[in-house]
Amino acid sequence: MRGAAGYILRVASEEWVRQVFDMAICYTNLSRKWKEGQTMLFVSKTGVGEMAVGYGVIQDVISTYELSEEERRKCEEHG
């Protein structure tokens, strides 16, 4: 069975949007088979439904044990 070509992630807050698009880093504690080259579509809830806010392509996957303490905290906050 082939893995997913990509994922759709709901953006939880404006701060999270800034982090993802300004720093080009997406911290998540979602357990998925993340792979380089997969597409991530980011959506946000609005008053009338869902809205696409952007997309990105995974360039690197790092396990939580490889993160610094600050990065691990961000991952837990935004996961």
Q: How far is CA 32 from CA 14, 29, 45, in A?
A: 24, 9, 22
Global pTM? 0.71
Name the residue with tokens 């946000």. Answer: 44
Give backbone dihedrals phi and psi of 35, rounded to 5 degrees, phi first. -140, 145
> Tens digit of pLDDT per residue, the chain (79 long)?
466 788 888 887 777 777 778 877 777 767 778 888 999 988 888 888 888 988 989 888 888 788 888 888 877 776 5
* Stated length of the chain: 79
Give backbone dihedrals phi and psi of 49, rounded to 5 degrees, phi first. 150, -150
